């Protein structure tokens, strides 16, 4: 929590007020703007696919984990092949006024993973690497199942939830409560850096030394972080994998990293 001139601020309160200012040109956009020829033209600028209404893949592209939002019809769903594609999408949205929504796992119960404008699905940015220095670099599109499996293979872990199809970026930037949070904290507690694309299409690395105020806001800001940026990668502090194995003889083997 930060205090500014005697007023306490939470990350969510900071971002709720700042999001509109950060993307002011997008605020005046309408759903009709999302269905112009500009969105079709975006296909030429991306290496990844762009799915439009009427395309055979559109029904699947618009579908989320939460069926209550099936009625929402995006003007387009872009699938960036790399972070440069993300930069192109954000620069396009700022230039044309088309509203933009980033999407990871598509699990938002509040519907923040969809909209009537341009949905940027970062699912292709899903690499997971443990660097051997106590951190892991995780693509914003990675799902928890992929993250947990890749880290477990290296003997390390990070506190997350159990649902394998939840996106790591949304979980982390929203706080990241999980089954091990009481012992190991939230996922956002372990976030040490984020690589992101700002609304003008600039690719930046943000951490506690490079733009610490923005880093503070991102750690727990939830869906509002999209008002500042679309994340393409996370740097997460990892710890030794805690193992508990029942031997079948009335005993259990407990790894050194385990906590109650």
> What percentage of residues in the chain have a pLDDT greater than 90?
35
Tell me the H-state helices in 125-241: 144-152, 168-173, 181-184, 212-218
**191 vs 20, higher pLDDT:** 191
Q: Answer yes or no: is pLDDT of 62 > 80.
A: yes
Nearest to 72 by CA among 58, 56, 85: 58
Using only the alpha carbons of the chain, give its radius of gyration. 19
Q: Please check whether residue 140 is in contact with residue 191, taking contact to mean a CB–CB distance below 8 angstroms.
A: no
Q: What is the pLDDT of residue 34?
A: 43
Residue 45 pLDDT level (bands cut at 50, 70, 90): very high
Q: Please check whether residue 111 is in contact with residue 130, taking contact to mean a CB–CB distance below 8 angstroms.
A: no
Q: Distance between CA atoms of 81 and 139, rounded to whole angstroms?
A: 12
Give me the half-sphere count of Cα atoms (radius 13 Å) on the Cβ side of residue 177: 2
Q: What Cα–Cα distance (Å) separates residue 251 from each residue in 118, 129, 244, 256?
A: 55, 34, 10, 16
What number of other Cβ atoms are within 10 A of residue 176's Cβ? 26
Which residues are CB-contacts of 254 (< 8 A; sequence separation ≥ 6)?
A: 243, 244
Q: Distance between CA atoms of 195 and 165, rounded to whole angstroms?
A: 22
Q: What is the pLDDT of residue 29?
A: 47
Q: pTM score, two decimals?
A: 0.77
Residue intervals in the chain for CATH 3.30.465.10:
128-240
Residue 7 pLDDT level (bands cut at 50, 70, 90): very low
Say which CATH architecture domain 2-121 belongs to: 2-Layer Sandwich (3.30)
Q: What is the pLDDT of residue 75?
A: 93
For the segment 195-209, the average pLDDT, to the nearest whole number, is 88
Q: Answer yes or no: is pLDDT of 5 > 80.
A: no
Q: What is the pLDDT of residue 240?
A: 66
Q: Answer yes or no: is pLDDT of 58 > 90.
A: yes
Q: Answer yes or no: is pLDDT of 24 > 50.
A: no
Q: Answer yes or no: is pLDDT of 8 > 70.
A: no
Q: Distance between CA atoms of 151 and 134, rounded to whole angstroms?
A: 11
DSSP state of 76: E
Residue intervals in the chain for CATH 3.30.43.10:
2-121
Q: Please check whether residue 51 is in contact with residue 76, taking contact to mean a CB–CB distance below 8 angstroms.
A: yes
Q: What is the pLDDT of residue 218?
A: 84
Chain-centroid distance, C-alpha 102:
7
Q: What is the pLDDT of residue 4?
A: 44
Most trustworthy range by pLDDT among 111-115, 117-121, 217-221, 237-241: 117-121
For the segment 30-53, the average pLDDT, to the nearest whole number, is 79
Q: Please check whether residue 169 is in contact with residue 120, taking contact to mean a CB–CB distance below 8 angstroms.
A: no
Residue 17 pLDDT level (bands cut at 50, 70, 90): low
**CATH tag for 128-240 (out of 3.40.605.10, 3.60.20.10, 3.30.465.10, 2.60.40.290):** 3.30.465.10
Q: What is the pLDDT of residue 56?
A: 97
């Amino acid at each position: 929590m930060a205090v500014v001139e005697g007023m306490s601020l939470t990350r969510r309160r900071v971002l709720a007020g700042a999001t509109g200012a950060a993307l002011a040109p997008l605020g005046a956009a309408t759903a009709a703007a999302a269905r112009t020829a500009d969105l079709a033209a975006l296909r030429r600028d991306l290496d990844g696919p762009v799915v439009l209404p009427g395309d055979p893949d559109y029904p699947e592209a618009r579908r989320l984990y939460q069926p209550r939002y099936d009625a929402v019809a995006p003007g387009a769903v872009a699938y960036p092949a790399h972070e440069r594609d993300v930069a192109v999408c954000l620069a396009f949205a700022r230039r044309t006024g088309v509203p933009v929504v980033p999407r990871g796992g598509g699990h938002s119960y509040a519907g923040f993973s969809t909209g009537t404008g341009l949905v940027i699905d970062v699912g292709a940015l899903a690499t997971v690497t443990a660097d051997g220095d106590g951190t892991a670099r995780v693509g914003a599109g990675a799902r928890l199942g992929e993250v947990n499996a890749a880290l477990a293979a290296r003997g390390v872990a990070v506190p997350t939830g159990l649902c394998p199809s939840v996106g790591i970026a949304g979980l982390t930037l929203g706080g990241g409560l999980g089954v091990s949070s009481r012992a190991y904290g939230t996922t956002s507690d372990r976030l040490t850096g984020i690589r992101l694309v700002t609304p003008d299409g600039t690719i930046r690395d943000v951490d506690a030394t490079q733009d610490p105020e923005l880093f503070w806001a991102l750690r727990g800001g939830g869906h509002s972080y999209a008002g500042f940026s679309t994340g393409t990668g996370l740097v997460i502090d990892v710890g030794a994998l805690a193992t508990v194995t029942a031997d079948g003889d009335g005993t259990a083997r407990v790894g050194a990293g385990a906590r109650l």
